[in-house]
Amino acid sequence: MPGIFEFLKPKSRPESTDDKPDSILFSTAFAGLGVDASLLVPWEARAVEIDAQRVSASRGTKMLQGLWAKDKYMSHLDAKAIQSLERYFDFAMVPPNRDVIRQDEYGNFMLVLLSGAIAVDRAQPWGERLRLAETRPGEVLGEMSLLDSGIRFSACTTMNECEVAALSAEGMDDMMSANPQLAANLIALLARKLSLRLRVVSARLSEKK
């Protein structure tokens, strides 16, 4: 299995003809909102911190195809489209009890759970930790911050050994440049799934008041 330091290999980024960050791009959106780059937590750093180990792209893509084929929204991406996504994702195995995402941090990546279970919790102002969900394989985590460049709404912790697919802001920008139709379709489907989940979470939080 390749070493974890392969996560640190720099990826290509869209070139800019202007010194000013282009806030239209996902990789520069945080800077466009005035967020200091030192506050960002990229997937490469989180992967090293939580002892993630790389999984082969072929395995990860096959798992992603099987899971999303059963999803109401993501099934609109056919096998060929998901195969095209392989070059933009990183696939990894994460040990149990690791925070893949932390509440109130700035993170410019999203995750797709491929195997295992991840708990989604939100710390309340009065100290209670509210369990929002226990995700199943195929579900997406962290896409809100990737799409709107905001802070993380909740914490996501592996409940057992999990395999995940990670898509960074740089990977999304590369996809927009190389395959804009695929990027547009993925963003639209993520937005629909996110809207549905927010409605569910909002209803659950209202019940707790």
Kindly list the structural domains of the chain, giving each domain's residue range(s) and its CATH number in brackets, ordered by start: 32-208 (2.60.120.10)
pLDDT score recorded for residue 33 = 73
For 34-82, write each residue's pLDDT tens digit.
777 777 889 999 999 999 999 999 999 999 999 999 998 899 999 999 9
For 30-39, write each residue's pLDDT tens digit.
777 777 777 7
Residue 149 contacts residue 40 (beta carbons within 8 Å): no
Q: How far apart are CA 102 and CA 20, in angstroms?
A: 30
Q: Please, is 1 exposed, middle or buried when counting C-beta atoms within 10 Å of its C-beta (0-12, 13-18, 19+)?
A: exposed
Q: What is the DSSP letter of 159?
A: S
Least confident among 23-37, 88-102, 122-136, 183-197: 23-37
Q: What is the pTM of this model?
A: 0.82
Band of residue 173 on the pLDDT scale cut at 50, 70, 90: very high
